Structure 1
Amino acid sequence: MSDERLERLEQLMSDLIQMVGATNAKTAKLEEQVAKAEAQAAQRHQEIMARLDEMSHSVTRLERMEFRIKRTTERIDELETDVAMIQNKLQN
């Protein structure tokens, strides 16, 4: 093999090694970015789940309050009916 050809092969090998090194560096950087993105996604997921839990508790409290309001309204209606009956009896 000629010296020129040997030098060319050595240069090609050197270029290839540099390309592989650059590719490995970029791959490592991308892996770090993916890991960071996954961590952020997991954090956001936890935040969303916590908010959903809070909303669920709020809905439950709201439903209880609606039930109490309905029951209180019914009781007020009953009392108004009783008052009307008493007033009617007093007038007679």
Structure 2
Amino acid sequence: ILTNKSISKSEFTIYNNIIYYLLTKNKRVTRSILALEVYNIVNGINLSYTILITLKKITNRISLLLILIVIYTDSYSLYKYLIKLRTIKKKRLIINIIVLK
């Protein structure tokens, strides 16, 4: 639900909403838990990006402010792997995978 309050038939108010997505099943066979976590993060961000594009089209049509999507992860194994890496280049690669910019 994107709207919280209807003012009239042609107007509505949008407040902050949380769209929660959790990927629990994965059809791919992975050899490590870390690879599975990275794959799940990528899948979640792909869905978020799709939602963002849809919301952007809606907000452009009705002249509203842009809606931002913030993505958090609590993956401790990704954090441990990042700490174990020796070179800055490898750390930046993993951070870019996590952030996907």
**Superposed pair shares fold, TM > 0.5:** no
| TM, length-normalised to structure 1 | 0.34
| TM, length-normalised to structure 2 | 0.31
Structure showing the higher helix proportion among its residues: 1
